[in-house]
Amino acid sequence: MKKIPLHWQILIGITGGIIVGLLCTQFAGGREFAIDWIKPFGTIFINLLKLIAIPLIIVSLIKGVSDLKDVTQLSALGFRTFGLYILTTVIAVSLGLALVNFIQPGNFITEDTRQDMLQSFAGEMQFKIDEATGIKETRGPLQVLVDIVPDNIFHAATANSNMLQIIFFSLLVGVAMITLPFGEIKSFKKVLDSGNAIVLKIVDIMMIFAPYGVFALLAALIAEAPSIDVFKALGMYAFTVVLGLVILVYGVYSFFIYFFGKMNPFHFFKAILPAQLLGFSTSSSAATLPVTMECAEENLGIRKEVLSFVLPIGATINMDGTCLYQGVAAIFIAQVMGYDLTMAQQLSVIATATLASIGAAAVPGAGILMLVIVLESIGVSPAGIALIFAVDRPLDMLRTSVNVSGDAMVATIINRVGTKKRMLSQEMDSGT
């Protein structure tokens, strides 16, 4: 297996998992076997990846920021990063709205099918609505800013859902290091270098088990899948989402990579394929972050100070795939439920989805909670979420791959811009 590239190993694991999952659905007790004896290994693999996410962000982000020359260089890097992330998010949700209005997948669902799905997933739907409602009731207009600043960094480090707080603390430490004389931070920088090397080696060790982890995840997912009839009923909705994701990744991202990143899109997608496949298998940007950073450095040649800053932030706030899905899902549910949305309401979907994506947990299922907020913003009953539960998990896997691709795309462009400015600066210095 060591002689086979990682992305091929993961593809073999995915294929094997799908085959075994299908076999488990064909005999009595197969589903229980997959859940009891196969799924735990997939859960262990995801836990391993999440285990290293926070240490990786802390050491790499502090190291990346402290390697910059001054605070002005950090502010320029931050402005470009946030600007690109917001731009791609708006493009993604706008693309989703355009496709769902053109295809109108809600017209393909019969009334009988709608009632059956509303009843089948009523329990799951109500749980998600209650969870989202509880979050909204405790959140004021500036709660997003409040949530960024932790009152206890050790408490913040106990959950991957607190990524923004970890990033804030790491940035604060990095900025403090920039402003101090090098002699005072020299020893700590050596500790960071060693810590970064250790964390990356742990990632390498974890990747040995990646094919087996994704095998277990896919086998359990197929075995637990609902009836195929439900998937047929939601086929046009799923087709609309998938079409939007494909256009976003291989159309929009390729355009950005070619014209702004000055890179062959084929080379880019080949370089990040292991991260895309892992994102597909785990449905978690946070769990995939170690591999995304490894691909960015080794395959794309992105500088450490750039990837250490851009990718952890992207895993937390850049949800292009999720926002596109929300645009499609919101209008699809409105179409099925008989709501006639105005242009103003559809434009509000863009704004709400963009804002809701900032700070959303980079974990499986976070998109559903965000969707409740989007639906309520346009006056559509969140009960309609039950219509899409059956296909949410496989679509979640796809949109996570898109989120990961978007993070790498922005990092590539930021790295290109920084390299170009550095070369111009060096030419000016040599000219003087």
Instruction: Report whether pLDDT(122) > 90.
Output: no
CB 389 within 8 A of CB 125: yes
Instruction: Return the pLDDT at 162.
Output: 76
Dump pLDDT digits (tens) for 87-114: 999 999 999 999 999 999 888 777 776 6
Q: Please answer whether residues 342 and 386 qualify as being in contact, where contact means their C-beta atoms are separated by less than 8 angstroms.
A: no
One-letter amino acid of 86: I
User: How large is the average pLDDT for residues 302-323?
Assistant: 88
Q: What confidence score (pLDDT) does residue 228 get? A: 60
Q: Which amino acid belongs to residue 295?
A: C
pLDDT in tens, 125-178: 555 555 555 555 555 656 667 878 889 999 988 877 677 788 889 889 988 998
Higher pLDDT, 369 or 406: 406
Q: What is the pLDDT of residue 362?
A: 46
Provide the residue ranges of all domains of the chain, joining segments of one domain with +.
Answer: 6-423
Q: State percent of the chain over pLDDT 70.
A: 83
- For 11-62, the pLDDT digits (tens) are 899 899 989 988 998 888 888 999 899 999 988 988 888 888 888 888 888 8
**Exposure class string for 199-230: b at 16+ Cβ within 10 A, else e:** bbebbeebbebbbbbbbbbbbbbbbebeeeeb
The answer to whether residue 365 scores a pLDDT higher than 60 is no
Radius of gyration from C-alpha coordinates of the chain = 22
Report the alpha-carbon distance of residue 369 to residue 129 in Å, rounded.
Answer: 7
Check whether 421 has a pLDDT greater than 70.
no
Residue-wise pLDDT for 198-219, tens only, equals 988 888 888 888 899 989 988 8
What CATH code would you report for 6-423?
1.10.3860
Q: Are 188 and 177 in contact (CB under 8 A)?
A: yes
Give 108's Cβ-side CA count (13 Å radius).
16
Q: Crossing angle for the helix pair 210-224 and 6-24, nearest 10 degrees?
A: 30
> Over the chain, what is the mean pLDDT?
83
Only one residue has tokens 């899409």, namely: 388
